Amino acid sequence: MPIYEYRCPRCEARFEELVGSHVGVEESSVRCPQCGEGGAERLSTTSYAPIPRQQTANQKRLSEQKRGTDRGGARERFGKQRAAEKARSKRARGG
């Protein structure tokens, strides 16, 4: 949701306003909360909070291949570990 910072041309007050069709407030109807003056000037925002994003398994694999990262036989170790777990489970069930 876009929250913009505005400055009033009359009293120089700075304020933030949530604007957009999804909240029912158009930018042209923004008024200063202190003096009620219309025509507030929208200020440019230089800072933002980035959204952390994780790579998908495929993106991670491709970037590892690109960098030449060696997984050190992780796939083989996982296969052996999974086979051992299945064997233990089968013995526990009496199979």
Question: Would you say the C-alpha torsion 56, 57, 60, 62 has a positive or negative sign?
Answer: negative
Distance (Å, whole) CA 4 – CA 40: 11
Domain ranges of the chain: 3-43, 57-92
Q: Is 94 left (phi over 0), alpha (psi -120 to 50) or beta?
A: left
pLDDT of residue 63: 85
pLDDT of residue 85: 94
* Residue appearing with tokens 């003096």: 35
Chunk the chain into consecutive blocks of 10 residues (it has 95) and report each block's average pLDDT, rounded to whole numbers: 82 87 78 88 73 84 81 81 93 82
In three-state secondary structure terms, 14 is: strand
DSSP 39: -
Cβ 14 vs Cβ 45: under 8 Å: no
Topology annotation, domain 3-43: Rubrerythrin, domain 2 (2.20.28)
pTM confidence score: 0.44
pLDDT of residue 62: 87
